[in-house]
Structure formats: structure tokens, C-alpha cells
Structure 1
Amino acid sequence: MPSGIVLSNGHTWKQQRRFGAVTMRNLGLGKKGMEHQIEEEAQQLVEIFARAKGQPLDPLLPITNAVSSLICVLSFGYRFSLEDEEFQQMMEAVDFLLKFGGSFCHAVTEVFPRLMKRLPGPHQKALFSAAMVLSFTKREIEKHKEQQSFHEPRDFIDFYLLQIEKSKGDPNSTYDEDNLAECILDLFIAGTETTATSLQWALLLMVAYSDIQEKVHREIAGVFGSSHAICYQDRHKLPFTNAVVHEVLRAKFMLPVGIPRRSVKDVNMQGFTIPKNTIVITDLRSVLLDPEQWETPEEFNPHHFLDKDGHFVAREEFLPFGAGARMCLGEQMAKMELFLFFSNLLKVFRFQLPEGVKELRKEPVMGLTFHPHPYKLCAVPRTGLS
């Protein structure tokens, strides 16, 4: 039976999900503590871009490291060095798993798992990658157990180990180290890839739509000038910038379909009967690109989230994180990261094509997630800013 949060069901899912939500709050999600950590990571990302001195830069690695560092602080209590070879191998393994997911080979592996385990192919690398990430996580769990730090919990592993202690003797408990390792894997896959890829799309789109990029910068500069450090509450003062971030998530949504779910009872929907225990896969495109809800659904248009007076408008149809009880656990953290990383970068740099490059490819690479083709851009420091 699947473990962790994302793919589990029934009693296991209820316990893991409830624990995850409570622990994320205990670790500062939605509070100043977590926001301050994101702000610090955003400033470090700005410094890394600045070191390129306006020369062509592939933003993938610095963006991924910035986002994954926050997941590390949340999960393990500390961030890894960019030079840490073992950590880089783990992140490469996570990246491969996401690119492998959704492929034909992945589909065949899911249908014939026992047969495919004996045959050569890219699925063997995927199996090895998954095992490597879980092994890395389990070593971190062992370190926490040796340190006995869970008696004064400071991160997700500590809180979970404490919960295992509290649940000893409870026959209905699903808290164990295997579920803990899977929960950490879920946090990395859901929390790193989605946010990092959305930020890559955001920068690519700013290069493609330089007029929108300039409007974002003018709004930020007009409100704060060059010295003010942007915080998450500032999104209310930056409606156009906030609208751009939301439009990136809508127009370049990450998942081609929602994560498969199982109906818990018979459901009648618009004349169709969905029997109990049916696997249900939602079509995110049907809502995020619905021509009846969005003025120009196929175009990148921040005005989808602005009223006639330029005020930001939340949209009920905006569902890139899903809906209901199983919506993304890290939605709030992802929104904070995207807004703070994006606004701080656009405040300092003008993003443009490298010399000799005429345009960037805006169509996605198909996989378990929709991510951009590899690209380079130039982050040119704006005059008088640092």
C-alpha cells in the first residue's frame, strides 16, 4: 500500500496529511519565521545572479538549489552547501524521477512492475534514483535519532520521530520510519520541482514579454525604490506583480493532469455515475484554460487577475494546486517563495536574451511535469541597484 502523503489513501493518508499540516504550521508556515527564511534565500539567489555580471546564465541550478535549500531547512533543520556532492546527486535523482514520470516506459512499469524489474531500460535508473533518495533520507533520520533532538523538535523529522514515540502501543497508528521517509520524499518532489520550474517559466516569460517585465519593475521601483527589502505582505502594494506570478501558474501549469485519486463512494456528476473505488484523474487544463472563464486562455495575460481599476482579483477558477481536502499541502509556501524570489529578482535585474539568441522556446517539455526547454539568459543589473 502506498505510504507518505501524496499517494496514500484511507486511514494512512488521513493521519499523514493531518500531521503534515500541523507540523508545517509548527515550523512557521504562514508565520514570519518561514517568511524570513525565504527572504534570506531570495537575497542569496540575487547575489548568485549578480556574480554572472550580466553574462549568459542557466538559471536552473541556482533556482533549484535555492528552493531545495528551504525544503532542507524544513525537513532536516539545515541547508546543504552547493558543493555538497551527495546532496547534488540526490537532487539529480529527484529531477530524473520527475522527467521519467509520465513517459511510456513509466506507464509500462506501472502496469507490469514485476516483469519490468527484470528487464533493462530507463526504468532501472528510475528505480535506482528512488532508492537513492530514500536512502539519503533514512540516513538523515538516523542522525536525528542519534542526536535525540526530537525531544526539542526543530524540523519535520524531529516532530515525526516525536510522534512515533507518542504513538507507541497504538494499534491504529501509521507513524513509522518508512512513512516518514516517504513524507520527506513527497516534500522534495512536490516542494522543489514545482516551485523551481514555475520560477524558471516566470523568468523565461519576462524575457519573452519585455513590456510586462518593465511594467513589473516600474511598479516595484515606484513603490519601494532601490533599498526596501520586499516581504510577502507587500504583494498587496504590488497588484500587477502579484497578477504576473498568478498568471505564470495558470498559463504554465505544472501538471498535465491531477494526481490520481480514488472515489470513496458512488458519485453522480452531471448525469454520469462514478462508482465507489474508481480511479479518478482530473484534467487541470479544462479549468486553467477554460475559454468560458478566461478572456484569453491560451495567452500569457496578467490582466486575467486584475479588475478595470488595476486591483488584484483572486479567481475561483485558479486551481493549479488542486482543490478540496487533497489540495497541495505546500500551496502557501509555494506562493510565498514565488512572489519573493520573483519580485526581488525583477527589482534588481533586467532579464534579456544572450547576444545572438533571437528567442526562447515557450512550448514545454512533456513529462510528469511541464517544464521549459533548457535555456540561458542575461541578468543585467539595473543602474543604481545592487
Structure 2
Amino acid sequence: MDLTALGTLILAILISCLVVYSTWDKLYRGRNLPPGPTPLPLVGNLLQIKRGEMVKSLMEVGARYGPVYTLYFGHRPIVILNGYTAVKEALVDQGEEFSGRGRMHSVDKIFDGFGVVFSNGERWKQLRRFSLTTLRNFGMGKRSIEERIQEEAQCLIKELHNFKQKPVDPRNILVQAISNVICSVVFGNRFEYEDLKFLKLINLFNETFLILSSTCGQLQEIIPRIMDYVPGPHQRINPIMERLLVFVSERVKMNQASLDPSSPRDYIDCFITKMQQDNEDPASEFNMRNLLLTVLNLFFAGTETVSTTLRHGFLILLKYPEIQDKLQKEIDSVIGQNRSPSIEDRSKMPYMDAVIHEIQRFSDVIPMNVPHTVIRDTTFRGFTIPKGTDVFPLLCTVLRDPSQFSTPDKFNPCHFLDESGSFKKSDAFMPFSIGKRICLVEGLARMELFLFLTTILQNFTLVSETKFTEEDIAPRMTGFANVPIDYKLSFIPRLV
């Protein structure tokens, strides 16, 4: 090929690319979606996402385009909501329109619209209503679940004494203790800390968190059709979920073999009984697939988020020993050493309440929220969001909104204390999200955080040979979850 022909070919390719890009640009600019950077064919706005830093990138794009903007994951438009006001307007003021569950491609092959977290429409309504009622009947928000947490907290204290003040990574022991609470409700029993098989199983939750937040996990959400064929750690998510489902399935079979419908022992018994009652109802969503996936939802939600928050909390208290000291003085004053903490103590312990709230705000465990979708064509702030469009209400931009928190990027318990030292609520405190899709086990998580942290600080002082920096305690702000750095600490028995 001579130079003239080659030049003509290159020119033709360039002109074709410009025509395609211009057509693509006009096609998407023609919609009345919120503004945003122009996407490219196939990869959308991939170039606007820094490698491995999806959350930071979304916040940076928001700084340019405002509280409501559109970003393209491949060919899919995604509406991003930034800041307290925009998120509240969507999830509360227009809560019905934004009540759908958006897609998470990384787990879609497993859940595929089933289970209480990832379902929509009538299926979601049936499963959520049943789950809330059943969990409430088993003590969610009542004394019986408080007693289960108190008993598990005492088991944890005994286990921590066995470490004999040696430096340890707290991840395993925390995930076991927290998982035992939800296990007692869902499965009807707890597991011993020596059960290494169970520990290995629940550690898969942490691995899932890490993979979802990895660079490959982020890319799978942005360009799933490409990443499905690319090797990498994201390919482990489905096998992990399958292993967890095998465990749940085995537990369900055990319940089926010994079921007494007149005396349900746990959530699984109640669901199986409901399946039998609705056996002839074609509109019923109570079937084996929804049972398995809803139990997996509850198991995951009731284990990893709380244990991860506590790990963040320990790390923060190691960085700020003066805060730990002040918490222990409040514990000694209100509770003393002769009884276990109770949930009634929380109202008398404003500093503990404020510190726990600030740990949740600052650690921001699920910064991007779980995606929503609009269930009908929706007008929002003058823009038109077509039915089925996924929406990311970024919780990180709410929990770090400078109009709501005086030092949003610093750990500061005073965000939740008034001038007299009393606890102060904040409407922008929404680590469990808000609106119709608020976390199903919020009440359980709040009780666990208070009772576990208070009981541990009642009995131990947390110390570490490592001197942690503000950078060490800061959340990574990468992908789906904020997981703290690995660290070790010693639990030193208190002499009061």
C-alpha cells in the first residue's frame, strides 16, 4: 500500500470515528437526563474513573457537575446523587419512585432478582414485609435479641481473655461473634469459636467485600460485558456465593427434617411454614429460591458490615487513646463493673452514643450504597429519569457533607454532641441508607455496636505497639466497601 492510499485510509477511519462519536454524543445529549461527561462507545465513562478509585472518582465528577449527574457504565446511564439534600429528596421525598433495586453485575448471576435485597415489585414487598415481621417476632428491637447479644458479648470477653494480652488481628474473632447473633435468629443456634470450618466459611464474606472493592470488582460494574471474559479475582465471587449457598441449603434441609410448624425455632422454620401455607397460591413468592437467597442476604448483612465497623472503631480508638479513656470513664460511671451493659444504658451514655455514630459516619462502610432504580419515568429536579434507570445515592457524600458536619473528613464525636454534652441527632446520619430500602437489620446492627463495644471497653483497654496515623484510620474510598487496614492489638484486662 502506497503512502497516499495509507493516508486516505487513516483519514477515512478518523472521519468515521468522528461521525460515530458525534452521533453517539447527540444521541445521549438529546435525552433530558442530568448532565455529565460525554461517554464513549462500549466503555461509557470508564476514562473518568481512576484505576481502583471509583468512589473518589465519582465524588470528583460530582464536584464538577453538581449534586445530580449522569455517568455511563458501558452503554447504561447511571444517575449519581451527591450530598444530603439530593439523596433525601430522592429516597424520602420521592421515595416511591426511587424504591427499586438497581443491578449489581458482580452478584447478578447468583441473585438474579431473587432474595429480599435484590428483588423488586411484589416479590420484594412480600419478602420484606414477612422478614420484618418474623425478625420482630424473634426479638429484633425487643429484649430477647438484646439477651442474645449480651450472651454472645460475654462469650467474646471470655475468648479475648484467652489471648493473654498477645497482639492479635481482631478480624476473625469479631466476625465470629457478630455472625453468631444473626445465626441464632436465622439458624436457631450459634457456633463455637473453635469451629474452624465455620470461621473459614464466614471469612468468605470478607473476601467478597475485598473483591467487590478491588480494581477488577469496580471494572466489572462499569464494563461487565467485557470483564465477564477477563480473568481476575472478580471471577471468584460466584464460586464464593455458591459455597455459601451450599451451607444455607444444608441448614434448610436440617430444618425441613425436624420442622414443627406449631413451634418455629428460627427464621428458616417460619419461611418453610409460609411456603407450605401458600403452596396453592400462584402469586406467592415464598419458594425455595427466595428462601435460600434471602437467608444469604440476612447472613451477609448481619455479619460483615457490623464486624467491619467494629474493626474500624478499634483502629480509631488505638489512634485516639484519650477518646477510649473518656469512654471507659463514662462506662464506669453509668454501668460499673458488676453487671453487663444493657440497651437502656445508651440513653445515659451520650459520649458512647456519639462516638459510635461518628465511627459509623467516618468509616462509611458502604460508601456507594446498594444501587437503586426508578420504578417509573420520574421527573427529578427538572430532569427526566426513564423507568429502569439505575441510581447511585452516594452515602459517602451525605456522611461527609460539609453543610451537615463541621469537620467532615476528620474523626470528631462532637458532630453528635450539643454544647451541653448531650447526644445530638443528625438527619444526615444514614449509614444504613434511608427511605423504603433502608437496611433490614438496622435495629440489630445498632444494638450490636453499642453492646459489643461497651462490653469490650468495660473489660479491656485496647493497645497496640504500632503508632497509627490519620492516614491509617481514614477509609480507603475505593469501591463497594471500605475495609480497614490490617492491624494487630492487645486486649489488656482492666483493673478498676
Measured against the shorter chain, the TM-score band is over 0.9
| 1:168 match | 279
Preserved contact between residue 334 and residue 345 of structure 2 (Cα < 8 Å):
no
Letter paired with 2:463: Q
**What are the ranges of 5 or more consecutive residues in structure 1 without an aligned counterpart?**
none
Q: 1:270 aligns with which of 361, 381, 389?
A: 381
| 2:11 match | none
**Percent identical:** 38
| 2:483 match | 371
Secondary structure in 1 aligned to 2:302?
A: helix
Letter paired with 2:412: N
Preserved contact between residue 400 and residue 409 of structure 2 (Cα < 8 Å):
yes
Task: Determine the C-alpha separation between the residues in 1 that align with 2:295 and 2:387.
Answer: 30
Deviation at 1:106, TM superposition (A): 3.1
Preserved contact between residue 416 and residue 424 of structure 2 (Cα < 8 Å):
yes
Secondary structure in 1 aligned to 2:462?
A: strand
| 2:419 match | 308
Q: 1:28 aligns with which of 113, 117, 139?
A: 139
Task: Determine the C-alpha separation between the residues in 1 that align with 2:328 and 2:442.
Answer: 25
| 2:14 match | none
Q: 2:293 aligns with which of 182, 195, 204?
A: 182
Q: Relative to structure 2, which stretch is displaced further, 273-282 or 245-254?
A: 273-282
Q: 2:121 aligns with which of 10, 13, 16?
A: 10
Matches within 5 A, 1:244-323: 244-323=355-434
Q: Following superposition, which runs of at least 4 residues in structure 1 exceed 4 angstroms of deviation? A: 107-120
CA gap of 1:116–1:273, structure 2 versus 1, over 3 A, is: closer
- Tell me how large the CA RMSD over aligned residues is: 1.8
Query: Is 1:207 aligned to residue 308 of structure 2?
Result: no
Letter paired with 1:381: P
Deviation at 1:157, TM superposition (A): 0.4
Task: Determine the C-alpha separation between the residues in 2 that align with 1:100 and 1:62.
Answer: 21
| 2:467 match | 358
| 1:380 match | 492
Deviation at 1:118, TM superposition (A): 6.6
What count of residue pairs does the alignment treat as equivalent? 382
Deviation at 1:121, TM superposition (A): 3.2
Larger Rg: 2
| 2:76 match | none
* Cα deviation digits, residues 252-307 of structure 1 (max 9, x gap): 11112011111012333333322222111111122111111111111111111111
Give the TM-score of the pair, scaled to structure 2.
Answer: 0.74
Give the TM-score of the pair, scaled to structure 1.
Answer: 0.94
Task: Determine the C-alpha separation between the residues in 2 that align with 1:114 and 1:285.
Answer: 28
Letter paired with 1:327: I
Task: Determine the C-alpha separation between the residues in 2 that align with 1:319 and 1:125.
Answer: 31
* Cα deviation digits, residues 112-135 of structure 1 (max 9, x gap): 778866764323322211110001
Task: Determine the C-alpha separation between the residues in 2 that align with 1:327 and 1:76.
Answer: 23
Secondary structure in 2 aligned to 1:281?
A: strand
Letter paired with 2:495: T
**What are the ranges of 5 or more consecutive residues in structure 2 without an aligned counterpart?**
1-111
Secondary structure in 1 aligned to 2:150?
A: helix
Q: Relative to structure 2, which stretch is displaced further, 361-370 or 146-155?
A: 361-370
